[in-house]
Amino acid sequence: MTTSLADVASSDATLRAFLHGLPGVDRVGADQRAAMLSTRSIKTTAKAQAIDLAISMVDLTTLEGADTPGKIRAMCAKAVRPGEDAPRVAAVCVYPDLVAVAARAVAGSGVKVASVATAFPSGRSSLEVKVTDTALAVAAGADEIDMVIDRGAFLAGDLMKVYEEIVAVKAACGDAHLKVILETGELASYDNVRRASWLAMLAGADFIKTSTGKVSPAATLPVTLIMLEAVRDFRERTGRQVGVKPAGGIRTTKDAVKHLVLVNETCGEDWLSPEWFRLGASSLLNDLLMQRQKLATGRYAGPDYFTLD
């Protein structure tokens, strides 16, 4: 792969030709590779290292219609100080109207504020609304925007529409980082996951993210594997590094560690930091804290020894 990527998006036809020219993904083989990597045995010091790394990569998330400023402040407090001497998480992730609350709550802590904009989770609105949604979240203090792609347009083959929307939202982000949610559970095939990953990266995504958390299946290991392969190949081709964020359905320490193993053996150390890999989760953090304490003391404490958000 040596040709320039500059002209790929110059027309519908070139974009389609490029994305459909990417190497295919064999579902059986990808599933087997992910399954093999999930048998890695991570124990003792490696487990301790993995747990702390995973905590530092968590985007602590609440995306409920019932979210209130009080709930956001409570979650932010936990994000800054998840537990005794545990590292802080990477970011909190909230709806746009609660960004200002979150930004005040985490100010000065190093925890970033991410917001799901662009008519999340369906993405079914006009580009104008999406761009405004994004701009408002950024203006309220969001460091990171999690946008959803228009899956309808993608599946209908209108790849240019998806591309242009990402470009427009990226422009609206200003200095904020853009995470593009592919909603892989709706893309139907692994080939589509790879194409959507490249499409998002070509359009300027800083991160590619699996899911909104509102659709099942969400972040599966094979899908994360394919997205990791995509960012690895993209950097090899363009020199630009893009992050990956599996989100939705990652609830246990075991799941989180399996994801870290995937990163380690697919992309290597360059991606093993909160700057390049995130775990979108709400209930994962407490399990990480529980396993962390178990490792330190040899005993499990009950769930009441760990705070609710």
State yes or no: is 78 an active-site residue.
no
**List 12, 38, 40, 136, residue binding other proteins (CB under 8 A):** 40
Question: Tokens representing 12?
Answer: 């519908």
Q: Is 25 a residue that touches other proteins (CB under 8 A)?
A: yes
**List 7, 17, 20, 24, residue binding other proteins (CB under 8 A):** 24
- CB closer to other proteins out of 25 and 75: 25
CB of 43 to other proteins, least distance (A): 5
Q: Is 60 a residue that touches other proteins (CB under 8 A)?
A: no
Set 78, 112, 245, 258: catalytic member = 245
**List 15, 19, 50, 242, residue binding other proteins (CB under 8 A):** 50
Which range, of 25-33, 120-128, 136-144, 213-221, touches other proteins by CB under 8 A? 25-33
Q: How far apart are CA 98 and CA 291, in angstroms?
A: 31
Smallest CA-to-CA distance from 183 within 159, 158, 147, 207 is with 147
For residue 121, whether the previous peptide bond is cis, meaning omega lies within 30 degrees of 0, is yes
Angle 123-126-129 (CA atoms, 0-180°, nearest 5)? 90
Q: How far apart are CA 127 and CA 119, in angstroms?
A: 10
Which range, of 44-52, 165-173, 243-251, 298-306, touches other proteins by CB under 8 A? 44-52
Extended strands (E) in 67-223: 91-94, 112-116, 144-148, 177-181, 207-209
Under rule CB under 8 A, which residues in 157-196 are in contact with other proteins? none
**List 14, 32, 216, 283, residue binding other proteins (CB under 8 A):** 32
* Rounded alpha-carbon distances, angstroms, from residue 133 to 73, 127, 150: 22, 10, 15
Residue with tokens 């992730």: 93
**List 29, 110, 174, 303, residue binding other proteins (CB under 8 A):** 29
CB of 33 to other proteins, least distance (A): 5
Smallest CA-to-CA distance from 250 within 242, 259, 238, 241 is with 259
Set 170, 179, 209, 258: catalytic member = 209
* Rounded alpha-carbon distances, angstroms, from residue 211 to 182, 185, 215: 6, 7, 7
State yes or no: is 209 an active-site residue.
yes
Under rule CB under 8 A, which residues in 254-273 are in contact with other proteins? 260, 264-265, 268-269, 272-273
Residue with tokens 């998840």: 82
Under rule CB under 8 A, which residues in 216-245 are in contact with other proteins? 229
**List 17, 23, 188, 303, residue binding other proteins (CB under 8 A):** 23
Q: Is 79 a residue that touches other proteins (CB under 8 A)?
A: no
Residues in Cβ contact with 285 at an 8 Å cutoff, skipping those fewer than 6 apart? 55, 58, 60, 78, 82, 89
DSSP reduced 3-state for 230: helix
Set 59, 146, 206, 287: catalytic member = 146
- Return the active site residues: 146, 209, 245
Binding site for other proteins (CB under 8 A): 1, 23-26, 28-30, 32-33, 39-47, 49-50, 53, 229, 260, 264-265, 268-269, 272-273
